[in-house]
A and B are shown apart, each in its own frame.
Chain A
Amino acid sequence: MTTFIVRRLLWMIPTLFAVALVTFIIMRSAPGGPWDTSAERRQVDASTQKSLNAYYGLDKPLWRQFVAYTIGDVNKKGTFVCGAICGNLGPSYRTRGRTVQDILFSPPADRPLWYSRFGYSIRLGLIALAFALIVGIPVGIIAALKHNSFADYVSLVIATIGISVPSFVMAIFMIVIFARWLGLVPVVPRTWDTITPWILPALVLGFGTMAFTARLTRTSMLEVIRQDYVRTARAKGLKERAVILRHMLKNALIPVVTILGPSLAGLVTGSFIIETMFGFPGMGRAYVQSIGQRDYSMIMGTTLIYAFLVALANLSVDLIYSFVDPRIRLE
């Protein structure tokens, strides 16, 4: 078990390295650069650009820049500065004086970690996931138990909407209905310290996962219902509730449990559109901004964090799997 985890963690290094390389290539082949100026902004003249490039090492050959970012490089004073591999995600080019890890992980003064951009995104992801599970699993169970009934069809319609309507479309509808027409929640909240502003983004973000969870639960429940061991349980004289809760649910939830990790990763990393639409102070919005601004180190750093989260989520799948299903053994 421990060796399994250690091996999987070590495997993450080449994976992340590959992610970094691909991101670097795509990013640098996109036109423009961090010092680009638009007409309404203050101009950066050529000599300033040159000295900025020199300061940040952008005048070096590309391969050297990549190695410098990921592994490290010797600075002007001749000391070695370690790169992403040591957790140093580099200085932001646009938010002067702050490093990428500082922007993502440092909460405002006197606030705990979950008030950082990373913390906000994780919280939003967790709330969305909780919503998806609390609604999705019971809906799936009921749909399966009342197979082909009205309830089943209602759940099918909801699930189809949830899976096929893109979250940004749903976000627009939600904002129009709940914020504009009904005025239940603010369109752009002033503070995120109360619960109300979280409801819409979490709902919109979690809806797809909820729909998917409901479908998955239903499918696996229908599979479990006709298993022989369910008949055995009934033949024992168990009450229907015990048959469902003890004998069916644990089996039916195995596939659901295994998607928890990727779902959370998907919700945390996939929230940038929602974050941007709702003006949410999370990692996703910062990411979208940094792409527009060609803030190279910020793009690289955030992508690596996302990739790390996904890799961690996949590892968690295997661990959870072995935990809920005694037939799976890890080695």
Chain B
Amino acid sequence: MSRLLEVKGLETRFFTQDGVVHAVNGINYHLDEGETLAIVGESGCGKSVGVMSLLRLIPMPPGKVTAGQVWFGTGDDRKDLLKLSDDEIRQVRGNRIAMIFQDPMTSLNPVLTIGFQISEALMLHLGMDKEKARKRAVELLELVGIPRAAERLDDYPHQFSGGMRQRVMIAMGLSCNPQLLIADEPTTALDVTIQAQIADLVKRLRDEIGMAIIWITHDLGVVAGLADRVIVMYAGFIVEEAQVKELYGNPRHPYTIGLLGSLPRLDATREHRLSSIEGLPPDLIDLPKGCPFYARCNYRIEICATDNPRLEPVAPGHKVACHREVTRETPYTVEIEPAEVVA
């Protein structure tokens, strides 16, 4: 499999009235053709901003990609997306890289029919005429499992349920056979049974079409059955990266250990209680000098307060940004008090 995407030193900031928001802080990762990469991390850690930066969809102002390279493509048409002209990046959007978003309720235009919204990209990128695009739209809706697809083409988004709308979004995303599908928390807004259906649908489509996927979520549970590799983000940094099995079996970053500890397990013994990570992530306007996880870390030592560790390999394909060699068995150095609840 050859390299499809290579992100180097990506850095995105928001210049707001309150100060500079350090949303993404120099992240590096890569993705092979047909591979599925999950990006996990809690709310506000820069997952969405990180992937929207790839397609330069950051609202500007206040946002700006301040550094980095985004190499996309194989062989000769490998290009740095951040250097493309506006016209060129538009050729990539929706065509070679498609994106689907978190909230299917608001991500579709309420006053346009779904048939039109799907056809739009087909006409734009594949040069289809109206008739052809409509036909293809029906096929796509059938592909994502919408019953009576032909009849529903002229319906408006409000006539669909949440799960069905997300299927429409997926159909829209797949319409131009993208090489990469970026799914930004596509199931978070849906209820649990629908979440599983959507995840299964994407898995099936990936196997049929063979595109690469970046799947963003803050739910490690969804990731297990879907992803090949996982990136864990915290406060705009990548803190751990590993194959999915490795990450679940041998998490090495205190934050990942915390995340996995807060996940319900079927084989859990009674003593093995669900734990949660105490405290709050740091303010992205005023990042601490040392490790961003310092304040919440049970394993911290002195150096962590002053020095932010770099992401280093600890095993083949497994990288961690931590000063210590932490595993699940490592004893705590400090107990973090639960954050006081402010009434």
Contacts and interface: CB of A to CB of B under 8 A. Distances in A.
Interface of A: 226-229, 231-239, 246-247, 250-251, 254, 324-327
A113 to B, nearest CB: 36
Interface of B: 55, 57, 59, 90-95, 98-99, 101, 103, 106-112, 120-121, 124-125, 156, 158, 169, 172
Given A235-B98, A235-B99, A250 B111 contact: yes
B158 A227 contact: no
Given A231-B101, A250-B111, A236 B93 contact: yes
Nearest to A240: B86
Contact of A247 (B59, B92, B112): B112
A234 B93 contact: yes
Contacts of A250: 111-112
A247 B121 CA distance: 13
A237 B120 CA distance: 10
A233 B120 CA distance: 9
B16 to A, nearest CB: 13
A49 B112 CA distance: 67
B105 to A, nearest CB: 9
10 contacts: A235-B57, A236-B94, A237-B91, A237-B94, A237-B95, A237-B124, A238-B90, A238-B124, A239-B90, A326-B156
Given A237-B95, A239-B90, 5 more contacts: A229-B106, A233-B109, A234-B57, A236-B120, A236-B124
Contacts of B94: 235-238
Nearest to B105: A228
Nearest to A250: B111
A251 B109 contact: yes
A279 B286 CA distance: 67
B120 A227 contact: no
A116 to B, nearest CB: 39
Q: Which 9 A-B pairs have the closest CB atoms?
A: A237-B93, A236-B94, A237-B94, A228-B106, A229-B109, A326-B156, A235-B99, A228-B107, A237-B90
Contacts of A229: 106-110
Nearest to A148: B61
B100 to A, nearest CB: 8
B53 to A, nearest CB: 13
Best-buried of B91, B120, B125 by chain A (most CB within 10 Å): B120
Contacts of A231: 57, 101, 107
B124 A232 contact: no
A147 B101 CA distance: 26
A327 B155 CA distance: 11
B112 A237 contact: no
Nearest to B125: A237
A119 to B, nearest CB: 35
Q: Among the interface residues B93, B101, B111, B124, which one has the most CB atoms of the partner chain A within 10 A?
A: B111
Nearest to B98: A235
Contact of A324 (B108, B111, B156, B158): B111
Contacts of B158: 326-327
Contacts of A324: 111
A233 B106 CA distance: 12
Nearest to B158: A327
Contacts of A232: 99, 101, 107-109, 169, 172
B133 to A, nearest CB: 13
A239 B94 CA distance: 12
B111 A326 contact: yes
Contacts of B103: 228
Contacts of B95: 237
Contacts of A239: 90
A228 B121 CA distance: 17
Contacts of A251: 109-111
Nearest to B55: A235
A250 B156 CA distance: 14
A92 to B, nearest CB: 49
A235 B99 CA distance: 6
Contact of B101 (A226, A228, A247, A326): A228
B153 to A, nearest CB: 14
A228 B108 CA distance: 8
A94 B95 CA distance: 75
Given A236-B121, A237-B121, A326-B111, A227 B91 contact: no
